[in-house]
Amino acid sequence: MKKVVVTFVFVFTLFTVFGQAFSGGLTAGLGGNQIDGDKVSGFNKLGFLVGVYVETNKDLKSALRIETHYIGKGSVNNLKYADGSVYQAFKVSLHYLEMPILYRYRIHEKFSASVGLAPAFLMKSKVYVDRRLVDTELKSIDIGFAAQTDFYLLNKLPFTIRYSHSILPILTNTRNWYNSSLTLGVRYTIK
């Protein structure tokens, strides 16, 4: 956690030192998640995203955005029986503090695209197999690639669609699991 705070302070100081105009705000969303490599397909695990962001050169065609947010990721496999009952055969709940660094390019007045890296720090995790908690060694840091589009239907409240995928496996053993998320959200610009 200490590393996260130091990184955030360093980045914030960088923006201040260079004296660029910047804006900031709040971000929130809901995403579908899956883990590639767990043999369960589909973005079936819902997860929330809530946090803050800072962006340089808000009014120019391109900008650098840094975010800090909580995001829930993972995977779930619910088996449905003929009688309508549901059995949860597999569930992974991952809770991250994520700090994406995105380059944004404004394609049109109402549309922009962003790409970048999304380092994340695992705060808590639980893995269930047949409703039993199992011990699974997950890496404490996940580094992902992120691509996002923003739709500026309202000036201070753009709607976002973001896809992110781990670059490195999230497990410490030989199985290759990769986080994959598709998030729909909104950003509110304070300044």
Under 8 Å between Cβ of 20 and 43: no
Count of residues in the chain: 191
pLDDT at 9 over 90: no
Token readout for 119 is 């380092």
Cross-strand bridge partners of residue 52: 26, 68
Identify the top-confidence range among 5-9, 147-151, 174-178: 147-151
Domains for the chain: give ranges and CATH numbers: 2-189 (2.40.160.20)
The stretches of the chain forming alpha helices (DSSP H) are 2-17
Confidence of residue 6 (pLDDT cuts 50, 70, 90): low
Q: Please tell me the pTM assigned to this model.
A: 0.83
Separation of alpha carbons 159 and 172, rounded Å: 36
pLDDT at 137 over 50: yes
pLDDT at 13 over 70: no
Mean pLDDT over 163-191 rounds to 89
